[in-house]
Structure formats: structure tokens, C-alpha cells
Amino acid sequence: MLHVRPSNTRGYADHGWLQSFHSFSFAGYYDPAHMGYSVLRVINDDKVAPAKGFGMHGHQDMEIITYMLAGELRHTDSMGNTSVIRAGDVQRMSAGTGIRHSEMNASAQTTAHLLQIWITPDTLGLAPGYEDKTIALTDKQNRWALIASPDAQHESLKVHQDMSLYTTVLDADLSLPITVTEGRCAYVHIARGEVEIDGQRLQAGDALKVDTVSALTMGAVSNSEVLWFDLPQHFE
């Protein structure tokens, strides 16, 4: 079946320096009907004010993916990694046995816009790890680009879970397939623009859950950026 998660039903927090929409229960937003989906635990749509951000804080036993939509974010962690990721970049941090990090808007002028995604790992107590990479526009323009997978196929980020994350920047009036096979489910998040999937019109911030074997077509109504999570069909 197809289940739409409308943008305007998400949780929302305004901290002044941070505006954040929560697709699943997070911090002060609690909704027992939206605690996660398969191994997908968090999608936070964050806008961080210039020169502001998250100070040093800790995580444990979580795969954390940051997908940059606009601006730039400076990452510093207790493993000694320091980097600035920008629009078009994606980052993976395996918290494992424990890690501390900060995420600060690296610009004093422009807002940083990102999706922070948490995936439950398949194994607890892993050694912490970090990597980031730039996804060239040509690799995702009007095609699905694999950006995270359990075996780091096609130079994707490695995640410690049986899931794959794809992204596309799709021009208006073009279409791409979304295929869900036996034993799998899908979560499709619209980051920008507007698309139509199997008769469902979805705009930025909307999402679609697919929990049955399906062969769908996603058509772009306007220029759009979309993330597709291919997930195991089990729920904790």
C-alpha cells in the first residue's frame, strides 16, 4: 500500500537560530504513529542560521547521514575529523560505541539547509567512523544516484545496515521508476519541488511510504530533488 506523510503534519521546532521539521518523533515532538519506518529512525529538515549551530554533543549506536541542500556546515568530532560540507555533499557518521561532534554553519551570511537522517545500525557497539563525499550533479541529474549502501557500492557511503539510499535531481516533465521488491519497503522524501507518484501529488517535505511489492513511476511536476530509501520490510 501507499501511505502519504504530508509535510504539514510533521513535527516542528523553532529555536530562533534553528527551524526544524521532524518526519518522525524527535526531541519534544512525540507521535506514537510516527516513531520511524523500518530501520529509518529520523529525518530532520533543518535550517541553521548563519554562524550558528549545534555545539559538541554525543551520539551512540546510530548511523547518521547529513544531506546538504544549501549553504555549508562545519563538522568537528572527537575522532579528530574536521570538514566543511556544502550543497551537493553527503556525510556519514557511525556513532558506534560513542562519538561527540559539533555542526556549525560555516557561513556568517547564508543559511545552511540540510536533512539529517538517522538509521538504526544492524550491530551495536561498532567502532565509530566518518566519511563524506560530493555527489556531482551529473551523477544524479535525471537518474537515481546511489549515495549510501551496506557494501559501499558505486563509491557510495558505507552504512552498517541493510538499506540503500538514492537521490535524484529531476527536471520537470521527466520521470524515473521506483521499484519495491519482495521483502523490501520504501520511503520516498521530497526535498524540493513537486512530483507525482502513482496518482499521488507530493510537494517539498511530503513523503510516501510503500510497504508492498510495487513498480511505480515518479514524474516531476516541477524541477525536484528526491531521496528514495530502499529498506528491509521489518518493523521494530
Residue whose entry in the numeric block shows the C-alpha cell 524527535: 26
| Distance (Å, whole) CA 210 – CA 156 | 24
- CB 60, CB 96: distance < 8 Å: yes
- Has residue 95 got a pLDDT over 60? yes
Query: Does residue 93 register a pLDDT over 90?
Result: yes
Mean pLDDT (the chain) is: 97
Position 235 confidence tier, pLDDT thresholds 50, 70, 90: low
- Say if residues 93 and 137 touch (Cβ distance below 8 Å): no
> With 80 as the cut, is the pLDDT of residue 226 above it?
yes
pLDDT at res. 144: 98
Domain-by-domain residue ranges, the chain? 2-121+136-232
Q: Quote the pLDDT of residue 1.
A: 84
pLDDT digits (tens, 9 = 90+) for 42-77: 999 999 999 999 999 999 999 999 999 999 999 999
Average pLDDT over residues 2-15: 97
Spell out the residues 6+ positions from residue 166 whose beta carbon is closer than 8 angstroms to its own.
144, 145, 146, 147, 227, 228, 230
| pLDDT of 236 over the 50 cut | no
CATH number among 2.40.50.180, 3.40.50.2000, 2.60.120.10, 2.40.128.20, domain 2-121+136-232:
2.60.120.10
pLDDT per residue as tens digits for the range 118-130: 999 999 999 999 9
pLDDT tens sequence across 164-209: 999 999 999 999 999 999 999 999 999 999 999 999 999 999 999 9
- Which pTM does this prediction carry? 0.96
| CA proximity to 66, closest of 127, 7, 119 | 119
